[in-house]
Structure 1
């Protein structure tokens, strides 16, 4: 029988809460328990079946997480999700992507 993510989170929540408190101690006060869990599920356990993992493996992975690892992940995800060219119209975007067409030969 597989355990659902929500049930598993409830089971290992003391470890996740402890890690959140550690992050807060180091000044990362906006990190929540849900953020840490999301990181583990989406990054650390991306290629694993979380419900089939043993409890001690999950707790160990949570406790090994460093603020640097987490912040690197969040920065990369932010860059992936941002639309850098949203303020450009189609002509400006075409000019940016094909700069030789937009300038005259010198």
Structure 2
């Protein structure tokens, strides 16, 4: 059975070409893995690996717009980010408590 890791190795030159295009438009911070993960999680999320043909994979990679990748990862960052991870439970309760006391005034 084919896995995404095997396909990644096959389409690495295509990913590199897309990466060159993205760099040309000065989108910094996007890696080959970011492009690949975007395709897996966004474009192919409802497809099985076995159903994908090589030409479909190449077409998908070339059709990805840099702004789509940036938007997708920004949204993922907002969804997964724990804004209060550096605060203890007690400190969080104190913050919430003080907020409700101030709003009652």
TM-score normalized by structure 1?
0.81
Deviations 1:19-75 (A, max 9, x none): 111011111232221221111112211111123211111111111100110000110
5+ unaligned residues in a row in structure 2: which ranges?
A: none
1:90 & 1:68 partners in 2: Cα distance? 37
Residues 1:98 and 1:53: Cα distance change in structure 2 (over 3 Å): farther
Give the aligned length: 104
**Structure 2 partner of 1:70:** 69
Residues 1:29 and 1:104: Cα distance change in structure 2 (over 3 Å): closer
Contact 1:16 1:37 survives alignment (8 Å): yes
Deviations 1:62-97 (A, max 9, x none): 111001100001101111221111233334433438
| Residues 1:7 and 2:28 are matched in the alignment | no
**Structure 2 partner of 1:48:** 47
Contact 1:19 1:62 survives alignment (8 Å): yes
Answer with 63-72 or 52-61: which moved more.
Answer: 52-61
Contact 1:41 1:50 survives alignment (8 Å): no
After TM superposition, list the pairs within 5 Å mapping 1:11-90 onto structure 2.
11-90=10-89
TM-score normalized by structure 2?
0.81
